[in-house]
Amino acid sequence: MQRLSQSERGFKIFALTLVTAFSLLAFFPVIYAFSASISGKVAYETGQVFLLPKDPSFRVYELIYLDKGLWISFINTLFYTVFGTAWSMFISVTGAYALGKKRLLFRRTFNFLVVFTMWFSAGMVPLFLNYTSLGVDNRWGIIVAFGVQAFNIILLRSFFEAIPHEIEEAARIDGANEFQLLLNVYMPMSKAALATVALFYATSRWNGYFWARMLLNNPMELPLQVYMRILIENFVTMFEDMPIDLPYSADSYIFAVLVCSIIPVLIVYPYISRHFAKGVNLGGVKE
């Protein structure tokens, strides 16, 4: 085993210390939100809460459990995330596979049109008018209308193009068609790219706020992010009008909702992030 020099050991310690410090800083808002959500009203309003909770109580989470509107918006967000990510991945994977083939007719034109959408946009007002004229005002409309991002197609196309052509030729000799090539050759050898793009889409769907609030009219179809915004706008006033003196503040309830909204992401992310460090090609070419 090769021993590290003193300078290399010092740099490694410095890098690990720096990464650890940034990780703690990134995780601090989550810890603070949880501490503020379970801290007592007097302790929070007097500024005693910094990292650890003061006078902890989980009664605010009991109130969240009884909030039917929160659960409906949570289920809506799961619906948008699961089906939206599946639809986006289907469009992106099939589109990237086709655009990566040199035998595709008008390949350069199609690639230019995809990249062109990354350079120029019609603008927010024309997009809004276009969506409203197409009837994008329900769950499935949100899923289909925002189904793909040009950057993710280009990313997957680059991964597919990096797979050695000899592997495809060997599969074709064995009788594989286009669908079998995509499902059994390209996708298994691009797990890192697929996991990355899927995480991009899932995060975007989970955090979707602006267009959902602009286009959805039915309150029973609102996602969690829109519901939290409405809650922040109205709950403080509603909380102050309550006739009883509750042991927690209005901000504690809002912090509790924020904590509940990020729990699914914290659970799913570690299972997907482990694919990031893996290589794109899981096999090799024998000559």
CA 107 to chain CA centroid, nearest Å: 30
State how far the alpha carbon of 201 is from the alpha carbons of 87, 90, 221, in Å. 10, 12, 20
Question: Tens place of pLDDT for every residue, the chain, 287 residues?
Answer: 456 677 778 888 888 999 899 888 888 888 888 888 888 888 887 888 888 888 888 888 888 888 888 889 999 999 999 999 999 999 999 999 999 888 888 888 988 988 888 888 788 888 888 888 888 888 999 999 988 888 899 989 988 888 888 888 888 888 888 888 888 888 888 888 888 888 889 888 998 889 999 999 888 999 988 988 888 777 666 666 555 566 677 778 888 888 888 888 788 777 766 665 554 343 344 44
DSSP 128-162: HHHHHHTT--SHHHHHHHT---HHHHHHHHHHHHH
Closest CA to 206 of 198, 214, 194: 198
Segments making up each domain of the chain, as ranges: 58-273
Q: 3-class DSSP state for residue 232?
A: helix
State how far the alpha carbon of 35 is from the alpha carbons of 40, 112, 249, in Å. 10, 50, 13
Residue 58's pLDDT is what?
Answer: 84
Residue 88's pLDDT is what?
Answer: 94
Residue 278's pLDDT is what?
Answer: 53
- Please name the amino acid found at residue 100: G
- Class at the top of the CATH hierarchy for domain 58-273: mainly alpha
Global pTM value: 0.80
Phi-psi sector, 123: left (phi>0), alpha (psi -120 to 50), beta? left
Residue 244's pLDDT is what?
Answer: 53
Which helix (H) or strand (E) segment holds residue 229: the answer is helix 224-240
SS (H, E, C) 72-92: HHHHHHHHHHHHHHHHHHHHH
Residues making up the chain, counted from first to last: 287
